[in-house]
Amino acid sequence: MSPLSKLFNHARRYRKHAVLASVYSALNKFFDVLPEILIGVAVDVVVSKQDSFLAKIGIADTQSQLIWLGILTVLIWGGESLFQYLYSVAWRDLAQNLQHDLRKEAYAHVQRLELGWFENRSSGNLLSILNDDINQMERFLNTGANMILQIVCSSILISIVFFVIAPGIAVIALLPVPLILYGTFWFQRRLAPRYADVREAAGRIGGRLNNNLFGIATIKSYTAEDFEAAHVDEASRAYVTTNAAAIRLSSAITPVIRMAVLAGFVVTLVYGGYLALHGQIAVGSYSVLVYLTQRLLWPFTGLAEIADLYQRSMASIDRVLGLIQTPLAIPYEGERLPRELVKGAVRLEQVDFSYDGAQPALTGVDLDIAPGQTIGFVGSTGSGKSTLIKLLLRFYTPKSGRILLDGHDISALDLQDLRRAVGYVAQEPFLTDGTIADNIAYGAPSASRADVEAAARSAEAHEFIARLPLGYDTPVGERGQKLSGGQRQRIALARAILKSPPILVLDEATSAVDNETEAAIQRSLARVSRGRTTLVIAHRLSTVRQADIIHVLEHGRIVESGKHDALLDRGGIYAGLWRLQTGELDTAGAT
Ligand SMILES: Nc1ncnc2c1ncn2[C@@H]1O[C@H](COP(=O)(O)OP(=O)(O)OP(=O)(O)O)[C@@H](O)[C@H]1O
Degrees, nearest 5: CA angle 309-314-319: 135
Predicted confidence at residue 233, as pLDDT, reads: 95
Phi and psi at 124, nearest 5°, equal: -65, -40
Element (H, E) at 200: helix 176-214
Across 540-556, average pLDDT: 91
Report CA 14 to chain centroid distance, whole Å. 20
- 62-107 residue pLDDT tens: 788 788 888 988 999 999 999 999 999 999 999 999 889 989 999 9
Q: Relative to the CA of 380, which ligand 1 atom is closest?
A: 25
Q: Is the CB of 385 under 6 A from ligand 1?
A: yes
CB atoms within 10 A of CB 470: 10
Identify the band that residue 584 occupies on the pLDDT scale cut at 50, 70 and 90.
low
Predicted confidence at residue 561, as pLDDT, reads: 93
Q: What's the rounded Cα separation, in Å, for the pair 453 and 459?
A: 10
- 333-349 residue pLDDT tens: 989 989 889 999 999 99
Q: Is the CB of 384 under 6 A from ligand 1?
A: yes
Q: Relative to the CA of 539, which ligand 1 atom is closest?
A: 25
Q: What's the rounded Cα separation, in Å, for the pair 524 and 40?
A: 93
Residue 587 has pLDDT above 60, yes or no: no
When the pLDDT of each residue in the chain is averaged and rounded to a whole number, the result is 87
Residue nearest to atom 18 of ligand 1 (CA): 384
Return the percentage of the chain with pLDDT > 90, whole number: 38
Instruction: Identify the top-confidence range among 187-191, 355-359, 377-381.
Output: 377-381
Residue nearest to atom 17 of ligand 1 (CA): 386
Element (H, E) at 252: helix 225-277
Are 400 and 474 in contact by the 8 Å Cβ rule? The answer is: no
Sign of CA dihedral 449, 452, 457, 461: negative
Predicted confidence at residue 416, as pLDDT, reads: 93
Predicted confidence at residue 257, as pLDDT, reads: 82
Buried/exposed code over 199-222 (b: 16+ C-beta within 10 A; e: otherwise): bbbbbbbbbbbbbbeeeeeebeee
Q: How far, in Å, from the CA of 382 to the mean position of ligand 1?
A: 5
Predicted confidence at residue 589, as pLDDT, reads: 42
Predicted confidence at residue 588, as pLDDT, reads: 44
Predicted confidence at residue 560, as pLDDT, reads: 93
- 272-322 residue pLDDT tens: 889 889 988 888 778 877 877 777 777 787 777 788 888 888 888 888 999
- 424-450 residue pLDDT tens: 988 888 898 889 999 999 988 888 999
Q: List the strands of the sheet with 503-507, edge to edge.
A: 422-425, 503-507, 533-537, 374-379, 549-554, 557-562
Q: How far, in Å, from the CA of 383 to the mean position of ligand 1?
A: 7
Across 395-422, average pLDDT: 93
Q: Is the CB of 381 under 6 A from ligand 1?
A: yes
Q: What is the DSSP string of 424-483?
A: EE-SS----SSBHHHHHTTT-TT--HHHHHHHHHHTT-HHHHHHSTTGGG-B--GGGTTS
Across 237-242, average pLDDT: 93
Full set of structural domains in the chain with CATH = 3-13+96-324 (1.20.1560.10)
Q: How far, in Å, from the CA of 418 to the mean position of ligand 1?
A: 22
Amino acid sitting at position 2: S
- 469-525 residue pLDDT tens: 999 999 988 888 888 888 888 899 899 999 889 999 999 877 777 777 777 777 777
Predicted confidence at residue 471, as pLDDT, reads: 92
Q: What is the DSSP string of 527-564?
A: HHTTTSEEEEE-SSGGGTTT-SEEEEEETTEEEEEE-H
Q: How far, in Å, from the CA of 525 to the mean position of ligand 1?
A: 26
CA atoms within 13 A on the CB side of 185: 5
Residue 196 has pLDDT above 80, yes or no: yes
Which carries the bigger pLDDT value, residue 291 or residue 238?
238
Across 49-61, average pLDDT: 75
Q: Relative to the CA of 379, which ligand 1 atom is closest?
A: 21
Q: How far, in Å, from the CA of 392 to the mean position of ligand 1?
A: 15
Q: Rounded to a whole number, what is the distance in angstroms from the first to the last CA of the chain?
A: 79
Q: Is the CB of 363 under 6 A from ligand 1?
A: no
Q: What's the rounded Cα separation, in Å, for the pair 128 and 207?
A: 8
Lowest-pLDDT choice from 11-20, 87-96, 173-182:
173-182
Instruction: Identify the top-confidence range among 161-175, 397-411, 516-530.
Output: 397-411
Q: Is the CB of 387 under 6 A from ligand 1?
A: yes
Residue 405 has pLDDT above 80, yes or no: yes
